[in-house]
Structure 1
Amino acid sequence: MDVHERFNETYPFGEHLGLEVTRVEEGYVEGKIELEAHHSLSESTLLAHGAVPFGLADSLSAAALASVEGAPGPTLDVRIDYLRPATGDIYGSAEVVRYGAETGVVEAEIVDADDRTLATTRGVYKTNMVDGNNPFVDS
């Protein structure tokens, strides 16, 4: 299954978030979430809960890793720096900066429609290829 199909068609949490993966290259992905009322912290204004940009960054990071090995691995650790609030649609990119036999490191950036950085992440993910299979996805 390719990354577009996995993350746009068969990823329940991504569907819940409204995630759309828009670009995939080996070790790099882009995507977006169109902000809706159910993402908001407030009834009176559209202001995304911090879990929304985090969910986009973490999901895109897993997709970037999947673009290298064919399937996403579980998140081991992520640091997120929130730089400004998300008050509209959010866009992200994630790039694998290290891919090893046991772990991979992925950096992501989340921006708004004006290309202002909303958040950045650096995450460590378990790489999972064991005899050509991913035990977390293929079991």
Structure 2
Amino acid sequence: MDLAVARAGLDSQPFSKLLGARLAEFGDGVAVLELDIRDELRQQNGFVHGGVLSYAADNALTFAAGSVLGPEVLTSGFTIDYLRPATGRLLRAEASVVRAGRSGATCRCDLYTVDDQRRLCAIAQGSIAVARGLSSP
């Protein structure tokens, strides 16, 4: 699977389109997902909502695994630690495969906000499972 195919897969997700997510990098066990930070993605204190950070981690983890395992993968679980409030103009989720086997992969994701500086705001780790024969609803 190449970057164009991966981008088409992301574009087929209505929720990703709603958030304005884009795949900046993809391949060889790495995926980078980006979102422009806008007011609709913030919580009441002006920080990026934790659900948006979780979404970005989940998708980046799965795309990183998919770059090694193929497109028929699903997140089987992940954890996220919020390190600091997310502020800035851009959210960047950088995921990589830590270990992959025949039936799945373990991946890590670092989430940064970017404006005049890059700031690490969260980290995540997840398990991605191969799910052969996936079909659309």
State the TM-score bracket (shorter-chain normalisation).
0.7 to 0.9
Which TM-score applies when normalising by structure 1? 0.84
2:77 paired residue number: 77
2:34 paired residue number: 32
After the TM superposition, which parts of structure 1 deviate over 6 Å for at least 4 consecutive aligned residues? none
**Structure 1 stretch 87-96 or stretch 64-73: which is displaced more?**
64-73
Which TM-score applies when normalising by structure 2? 0.86
* Paired AA for residue 12 in structure 2: T
* Paired AA for residue 99 in structure 2: R
- Measure, in 2, the Cα distance between the counterparts of 1:112 and 1:47: 11
CA separation of 1:48 and 1:120: change in aligned 2, threshold 3 A: same
**Structure 1 stretch 70-79 or stretch 51-60: which is displaced more?**
70-79
- Measure, in 1, the Cα distance between the counterparts of 2:28 and 2:127: 18
CA separation of 1:109 and 1:4: change in aligned 2, threshold 3 A: same
Describe how 1:1-139 pairs up with structure 2 within 5 A. 2-7=5-10, 9-42=11-44, 46-88=46-88, 89-113=90-114, 114-128=117-131, 134-137=132-135
- Measure, in 1, the Cα distance between the counterparts of 2:57 and 2:29: 14
- Measure, in 2, the Cα distance between the counterparts of 1:105 and 1:138: 25
CA separation of 1:137 and 1:121: change in aligned 2, threshold 3 A: farther
CA separation of 1:29 and 1:127: change in aligned 2, threshold 3 A: same
Report if the CA contact (8 A) 1:63-1:72 is conserved: no
Q: CA deviation at 1:138?
A: 6.7
Query: Structure 2: which 5+ runs fail to align?
Result: none
Q: If each structure's strand is expressed as a fraction of its own residues, which one has the higher value?
A: 2
- Measure, in 2, the Cα distance between the counterparts of 1:56 and 1:72: 19
Q: CA deviation at 1:68?
A: 1.5
Q: CA deviation at 1:99?
A: 1.2
Alignment: residue pair count:
131
Query: Structure 1: which 5+ runs fail to align?
Result: 129-133
Question: What do you get for the CA RMSD once the two structures are aligned?
Answer: 1.8
Report if the CA contact (8 A) 2:69-2:104 is conserved: no
